[in-house]
Amino acid sequence: MYDKKDMAPPGVGYLDLKLMQGCPPPQDKLIDLRNWDSPPYNRWSFQHMSELFPVAPIRRGKAPVSELPQATRSLDRVRFERVDGQQTDLATFLTDSYTDGFIVLHQGKVVSEQYFNGMQPHTLHLLQSVSKTLVASLVGILIGQGKIDPDARVSDYVSDLSGCDYGDARLQDVLDMRTGIQFCEDYTNPDAEFIQLDIASGWRERGTRTSPDTIYGLLKSLKKGREHGGHFEYRSVETDVLGWVCEQVCNERLPVLLSREIWAKLGAEQDANITLDRVGTALADGGISASLRDLARFAQMHLQGGMFNGQQIVPEAFIKASRQGSGEHFRVLYGAFAEHYPKAAYSNQCWVHDSDKGIYSARGVFGQFIYVDPQSDVSIVKFSTWPDFLNPEWSLNSNRAFEAIAKALAD
């Protein structure tokens, strides 16, 4: 996707590259809207989003920090076969795949916790689309509270979308990305609707383009390409619709809701944050930054059926539904993933690897992962700064690494 001359070698971090160092930094080391998500600049920016964009805090609250018990052991020699048929070990894989943070929990205890590229335990790292699973979990909580009906229409909660093409979509279709909205999620196509989303959220310079300049303005402008309720098609804006519904139902801003209903209840160590558009709307689909250990708490909560820190945070029924889905609707556009995972699906903003075993993940561009394997009692979080938005081979290799770890710990 990018010229190889722009890629930092694996294992070379932003401190080695001297990015954003100096007062002011030299022009070729300066990071702004033009280059922040391009290699090698993303090696710095994903850990410093609050220095590039306006953000709102997702506060941890005043409750004590929840314990993450330790059962440390080395996993460096865990081996697996890559997609190209070559054998590798975990230590090599973590370096080669531009890892920033990596944590593994087994039976609720931290087995491995590693940091790279200048990241530290207190550092917040951009989650990209892993944010979607946090927002969906909030929806699940509000469903459990009786405030949202997944079979209701979007316009039942957001009057501004009445008469718009999103208005008659069921909430469950939005959760499962099965609406009929026309939205091209091509990160490099200058004419794709996704570029309009980047502009509306403040993540990209407008240039000469004309499109809505706020997230909610963009949602009102999108049109159907087919009827709602059909096959799965990945569209980041679906999560922004969910965020708007949550705000309307509770009459509170999304960062406040995420704090009260999830982050504070997890007993998080650090405040998280979320980027804002020009009118203060939070970017629900990918704008959250969090620490490695706090996202591990969230992953472990999912593994434990929504229970964590002595309380049921997300309803167990919603978590169970997130672990299985319709493979038939999924395979229409995602045959390659389904080829490797025949029982794959997409449910409640989660990528289901195996509907029978309940293995699923949250994924974000540039290599962000949560991996949950209930049968092996393993949860894993990986932060990365790949030099590409998407790399199918690296994604599959990451899954193979997670599977190998789960097997090694279960044996």
Residues catalogued as catalytic: 129
φ/ψ bin of 278: left (φ > 0), alpha (ψ from -120 to 50), beta (otherwise): alpha
Angle at 10 between CA 7 and CA 12, to 5 degrees: 85
Q: Tell me phi and psi for residue 132, to 5 degrees.
A: -60, -40
Asked if residues 354 and 368 have their Cβ atoms less than 8 Å apart, the reply is no
User: Checking DSSP bridges between strand 79-81 and strand 87-89, what pairing results, if any?
Assistant: antiparallel
Task: Give the Cα separation of 240 and 179 in Å (integer).
Answer: 13
| Structural Rg of the chain based on CA atoms | 20
Supply 363's token pair: 């994924």
How far is residue 344 CA from its own chain's centroid?
18
Q: Could you tell me which residues are beta bridge partners of residue 56?
A: 274
How far is residue 157 CA from its own chain's centroid?
25
**Residue 6: DSSP 8-state:** G
Supply 47's token pair: 């850990």
CB neighbours of residue 400 within 10 Å: 17
User: In whole angstroms, how far apart are CA 98 and each of 9, 91, 104, 172?
Assistant: 9, 12, 17, 35
Residue 373 carries which side chain, given as an amino acid letter? D
Find the helix packing angle between 131-144 and 292-303, rounded to 10°: 50
Give rounded-to-5 percent helix, strand, coil for the chain: 35, 20, 50
Q: Tell me phi and psi for residue 370, to 5 degrees.
A: -120, 135
